[in-house]
Structure 1
Amino acid sequence: MIEFIKGFVDHITPEYIVIDHHGIGYQIHTPNPFSYSKNRKEENIVYTYQHVREDLIALYGFSTREEKALFMKLLNVTGIGPKGALAILASGNPSQVIEAIENENDTFLVKFPGVGKKTARQIILDLKGKLGDIAALYSPDLFNHEELEDKESANHALSEAIEALKVLGYAEREIKKVVPSLQEESLTTDQYVKKALQKLLK
């Protein structure tokens, strides 16, 4: 089992990042790939989980051990796979997810792609009362990035954010509802993704 990988981000897509670790490129699926920086002067530590199926071996990565722990807890819930767990974590606000589980707020949980009423109840049944250790360790400022002022960069960032939302499983009609309000601001891709998720989860 690979606990973490430390290296430079070589490539970013809406679905995954590629970490260059001493000349070897690791493809790692993350909740929000655009929260990582391609600054070659700054090494990233990505805490990884290796998922193995008959037809697939994939690495999933997280910015903290607590985020990884919540992902693994979600995987234990019947009806939640890696893609669904990533979509839940992509909001960048795990404490909100934990609060919804503890308060049995299935109305909030069904707003995530692939989570219906039955799966939301299963999440609550399986995880309520078992996330206190994770909740206590979460940092409120999980992702923090500077805004881009350049309009062209903002348009490119918005396009990337839309692709990232599609990868997470949101339908085009849902995305179209929130895009007009996003176009009013000049943000980074990461900020667009987070902003869009906040609106989609209302």
Structure 2
Amino acid sequence: MIEFIRGYVDYVCPEYVVIENNGVGYQIFTPNPFSFQMNKQQQIVVYTYQYVREDVLALYGFHTRQERMLFAKLLQVSGIGPKGALAILAAGQLEQLVEAIEAENDQFLCKFPGVGKKTARQMILDLKGKLQAIVPDAFPNLFTEPLEETNALSEAIEALKALGYADKEIQKVVPMLRQERLSTEGYIKLALQKLLK
């Protein structure tokens, strides 16, 4: 997996951008390639997502890790592929997207290209409650918990995933964890106590 590519913008077109790094040009599909055009003279970092299927090997690139994480989450939604996820992110309204999912606002979600009522409902079903752990730093005002608590809780959730717990199991204990103000370690211990009962 390629975490990021640091280099210079060599070429920009409506679908992708080419980043030159040590004499190699990387074709990277992005939500809005022209957003990279103003950086032609300076070195930039593009956070990448490597998409592999039997007939496709492509790099998708983003300005921030949060954008990339949202892209990866969108790919998990049935009915949304890479092009659809890029189209959703191209609007540049990430905070509104997350708010709409959390508020179950399918009317807003249907405004994105290729997203109908069914896909919007699927996005809400698959992603509601799962984006807080991914984007607390990007949107600190979006969720009600204080930032320190959110960071500690999100780190604990990631640690539980690393320990092999499924999202479904973790989501059962998250409401209980939100009622506490603990360190990351404290959240992990409490979660494990609840999960092992």
**What is the SS of the residue equivalent to 1:132?**
coil
User: 1:77 touches 1:122 (CA, 8 Å); kept in 2?
Assistant: yes
- Rounded to whole Å, the distance in 1 between the matches of 2:135 and 2:23 is 36
Taking CA–CA contacts closer than 8 Å with sequence separation of 6 or more, which of the two structures ends up with the larger relative contact order?
1
- Rounded to whole Å, the distance in 1 between the matches of 2:39 and 2:117 is 42
Percent identical across equivalent pairs? 66
User: 1:9 touches 1:36 (CA, 8 Å); kept in 2?
Assistant: yes
Q: Deviations over 1:19-50 (max 9, x none)?
A: 00011000000000011135453111000011
Q: Is 1:112 the counterpart of 2:112 in the alignment?
A: yes
User: 1:6 touches 1:46 (CA, 8 Å); kept in 2?
Assistant: yes
Q: Is 1:62 the counterpart of 2:62 in the alignment?
A: yes
> Cα RMSD between the aligned structures?
1.5
TM (norm. structure 1) is 0.66
User: How many residue pairs are counted as aligned between the two chains?
Assistant: 140
Q: Which residue of 1 aligns with 2:101?
A: 101
Unaligned stretches of 5+ residues in structure 1: 141-202
Q: Which residue of 2 aligns with 1:11?
A: 11
User: 1:107, CA displacement in angstroms?
Assistant: 0.5
The amino acid of 2:138's aligned partner reads Y
Q: Deviations over 1:44-87 (max 9, x none)?
A: 10000111122111100001111100000000001010000001
- Rounded to whole Å, the distance in 2 between the matches of 1:7 and 1:118 is 40
Residues 38 and 23 of structure 1: is their aligned pair in 2 closer, same or farther, counting only changes over 3 Å?
farther
Q: Which residue of 1 aligns with 2:166?
A: none
Q: Deviations over 1:138-165 (max 9, x none)?
A: 279xxxxxxxxxxxxxxxxxxxxxxxxx
Q: Whose Rg is larger?
A: 2
Unaligned stretches of 5+ residues in structure 2: 141-197
Q: Which residue of 2 aligns with 1:130?
A: 130
